[in-house]
Structure 1
Amino acid sequence: MTTAVTRSERRISPIFIGLVAIMGVAGWAVWTGFSASTGFAVFLFVVAGWVVSLCLHEYAHARTALHGGDITIGAKGYLTLNPLKYTHAVLSIVLPVIFVILGGIGLPGGAVFIERGRISGRWKHSLISAAGPLVNVACAMLLMLPFTFGALDAGVPIPFLAALAFLAMLQVTAAILNLLPVPGLDGYGIVEPWLSYSFRRQVEPFAQFGLLAVFGCLWIPEVNAVFFNFVDSVTHAFGVPDGASSLGYAYFQFWKGDPFS
């Protein structure tokens, strides 16, 4: 079996490079206070960083599928990190960004189309589904480790610290929610190969509603409180200050004005 892809099929997209550049410039603007609107700079930093992580999330699915046996991945453009190549750009990029804006919740959408018939072995199918959430776990760790080791204790502007905490919180929520065994989410994709054929056929029609159902449940105050208390316990364990992510979300919502005004 070959997993070879052409150079053009794995060339990083200028769109992805542009997203990384926006994140870097916006982060610099937040740190230095260069922007006339700190909140808008935080917004750009978080959105760009969030979309970059979504691209990496889907790339992990695609790359793992390629090595699992789906040699069509390269031709579909999934290895270029170009979000416009995804099967459902609205579900993959637009909807997750809306989730962040409306509720401060990081929840990846559906994206790459994998030809599962080309892949044999239940473990391979489970690993393909697990690859995306593992990227969110890795991103969360990278964003929280500076807090853990005290690298942000002194001299770091509060808006930047808050923005970083908020982005880290989004990664934590994305990892937790996407690992839920709900049809349509990666958590279900991990366990699906081990379920009976009849059960999989019964739940298949509900997969398209899984993402919205989870988001809807989080609007229930009791569920929302339990979930975010758990998220806060995770971020706090890594040294993220209490209230830092909430302050970052307040900056992120720049249209509501300066949180300190």
Structure 2
Amino acid sequence: MATQATRGEGRVSPVFLALVAIMAVSIWAVWTDYSASPGFAVFLFVVSAWIVSLCLHEYAHARTALHGGDITIGAKGYLTLNPLKYTHALLSIVLPVVFVIMGGIGLPGGAVFIERHRIRGRWKHSLISAAGPLTNLVFAVVVTAPFWLHALDGVPDNFRYALAFLALLEVTATILNLLPVPGLDGYGIIEPWLSPKVRRQVEPFAPFGLLAVFGFLWIPEVNHAFFDMVDAVLRTLGITEWDTYWGQELFRFWQGTPEIPPLNALDLG
């Protein structure tokens, strides 16, 4: 059975290339402080990079499913990295961006539709589900590399803060996606190993898993515990709360440009 997409089915979409172009231009604008509104440039950079990472997340699911046996993936357009091809563009792109704007939470989005009956083997099913959050993890490692490699000499402060805030989003997305909640990838990883009876009992709750997670995050105690964990992860990667705080402040450009104290006046360890 063939598991390769045709050339047309795997061609990168102009929509994704446009997103990458916006990300590249906004990186330049943040780095050079070219924009009259530094916060708007940071906003464009973070949002475009965040959407690019969401596209890569869904692509990882699709590509792994293709090699796992679902030969319908290519025809559905999932290998083009075009977010408009997803089963629920609203869940996959719009809502995650809205959640970022509302609260700085990298909430996982919707999904590509995978014909699971075509795939044989529990390990393949688990790997398909794990591929998405692993992509966010890799993205987080790349974004934080300048911090844990101590390679920030000469990097403009605003770009440093933008990277830190983007890293926070990727770390939160990775952690949230790995939660064993129906409807999220974490549950998808363990689902093949559950009994058919348990799977049938849990299935009706899958559409509400994402909303339930978001609801729990509004509980102050849960929110504080979650972000304490996120901050601990970021600290191990060399990112301080100072970095993420000012990254988010710049991101919210509609609140006005914040007066950021000089970074060289602080001892960040």
Range of TM-score over shorter length = over 0.9
Letter in structure 1 aligned against 2:118: R
What is the distance in 2 between the residues matched to 1:246 and 1:202? 42
1:87 and 2:83 correspond? no
In structure 2, the partner of 1:169 is: 168
RMSD of aligned alpha carbons: 0.9
Shift of 1:219: 1.0
1:67 and 2:67 correspond? yes
Question: How is 1:94-243 mapped onto 2 (pairs within 5 angstroms)?
Answer: 94-152=94-152, 154-243=153-242
What is the distance in 1 between the residues matched to 2:77 and 2:243? 38
What is the distance in 2 between the residues matched to 1:162 and 1:83? 27
CA distances 1:141-188 after superposition (whole Å, capped 9, x unpaired): 001111011111x22211110000000111000000000000000000
Q: When the two structures are superposed, what TM-score results if normalisation uses the length of structure 2? A: 0.95
Equivalent residues of 2:4, 2:67 under 8 A apart: no
Letter in structure 2 aligned against 1:205: P
Letter in structure 1 aligned against 2:107: L
What is the distance in 1 between the residues matched to 2:119 and 2:79? 18
3-state SS of 1:145 partner: helix
CA distances 1:18-72 after superposition (whole Å, capped 9, x unpaired): 1011011001101111001111111100000000000000000000000000000
What is the distance in 2 between the residues matched to 1:199 and 1:248? 43
CA distances 1:63-93 after superposition (whole Å, capped 9, x unpaired): 0000000000000000000000000000000
Identity of aligned residues (%): 72
3-state SS of 1:245 partner: helix
Count of aligned residue pairs for this structure pair: 260
Shift of 1:258: 1.1
CA distances 1:88-125 after superposition (whole Å, capped 9, x unpaired): 00000001001111110001212200000000111100
CA distances 1:172-222 after superposition (whole Å, capped 9, x unpaired): 000000000000000000000111111111111111111111111111111
CA distances 1:210-238 after superposition (whole Å, capped 9, x unpaired): 11111111111111111111111111111
Shift of 1:241: 2.8
What is the distance in 2 between the residues matched to 1:177 and 1:246? 20
Letter in structure 2 aligned against 1:260: E
Where structure 2 has 5 or more consecutive residues not aligned to the other structure, the ranges are: 261-269
Letter in structure 1 aligned against 2:187: Y
Q: Which runs of 4+ in 1 moved over 3 A?
A: none
In structure 1, the partner of 2:253 is: 254
What is the distance in 1 between the residues matched to 2:46 and 2:162? 7
What is the distance in 2 between the residues matched to 1:99 and 1:241? 22
Letter in structure 2 aligned against 1:163: A
Where structure 1 has 5 or more consecutive residues not aligned to the other structure, the ranges are: none
Of 112-121 and 211-220, deviating more is: 211-220
